[in-house]
Amino acid sequence: MKAPFWDHVEELRKTLLRCLFSIGVGFLLCLLAYKPLLHFLIQPLQSSQWTETSIVRKKLTNSTQQDQVVHLTPDMMVAPSFANESIKQNASTYVVPAGQSIVIDIVQNGSKLILTSPLEGISTVVKLSFWFGLAGSSPLWIWYILRFISPALSINKQRLLLKAFFLTIALFGLGVYVAYRLTIPLANAYFMHFNQGLGINLWSLSSYLEYTIILMLGNGLAFEGGAILLLLVQGGVISQNTMRKYRRHAIVGIFLLSAILTPPDVLSQILLAVPLICFYELAILYANWLDLKNKNEEKIAFDN
């Protein structure tokens, strides 16, 4: 009895080490590629309705005894009322005589996230790398866990577990995609518009990324609920009669969940609730198909 037990303990230790190693590798890879990850997460903010343009005006005075040349970058332009004090050579070059001034307008487009503490930047990058490393390596470490517990299951349950693995990964990815393309841009636009009546919108990098990751994970887990429901149907835990009986309760619960995981506008709640309701109806159809299949098999067995 002791040998098999300690063999299981040793195998569990190896499984945990493999899981930790895969998470660590994912964390390091995300840490090395944090700039593309930041750009990926900030993109919904830049593509939302928050498109601010700010103009910074600077006055440059030539305090020397000689003419000075000023080269303008594409985001700079000379203020029209002050252009006569300088000599324009071309579209981006001006000569400012001694003792004269030139006024330059610097155009800044897009949203700006701020850092409110010296360590906020690096701490945000570390947390971002950890969560993306954990999520990105999840297919690998979940596979290690399933491989550890699969010997204790029957062949049919192993096949069911394998289907569940791929189904949950696919639905989680679909939920994250819906959040990235629909929920997060709508949330950004809603909160930006709502906050404009209360104060200046200055969002910190850490708070924006935290709420973005929460929305992505929330949508991914919500979509995984469809996979769990299908597994319960497959295992015979829930029947189609039960799901039909509590359909209204389920729809109300789905809208409550959507209200929690999305901003308080109706459109984003509907965009999350409709796919979940479709998953529920799909589970009913799947349960009905299983019942018909089982009845046909029983009829064939009875005839034989």
Average of per-residue pLDDT across 75-92: 65
Position 1 scores a pLDDT of 44
Q: What is the mean pLDDT of residues 110-130?
A: 82
Count of Cβ atoms closer than 10 Å to residue 96 Cβ: 19
Q: What is the pLDDT of residues 214-258, one digit of tens each?
A: 888 888 888 888 778 887 887 777 888 888 888 888 889 888 888
The predicted structure's pLDDT at residue 108:
62
What SS3 class is residue 115? Answer: coil
For residues 95 and 99, give the distance between their C-alpha atoms in angstroms, rounded to a whole number.
12
CA distance 168 to 173: 8
CB 67 within 8 A of CB 97: yes
How far apart CA 182 and CA 214 sit, in angstroms, is 14
Which stretch of DSSP H or E encloses residue 10?
helix 2-32
Q: What are phi and psi of 90, to 5 degrees?
A: -150, -165
Question: 165: Cβ–Cβ under 8 A, 6 or more apart, which residues?
Answer: 142, 143, 146
Q: Could you read off the pLDDT of 178-190 as tens digits, one per residue? A: 888 888 888 888 7
The CA-CA-CA angle for residues 104, 53, 72, to 5°, reads 30
Q: Over 80: is that where the pLDDT of 47 sits?
A: no
Question: Which of these, 208, 214, 192, 262, lies nearest to 38 by C-alpha position?
Answer: 208
Label residue 236 left, alpha or beta by phi (over 0 means left) and psi (-120 to 50 means alpha). left
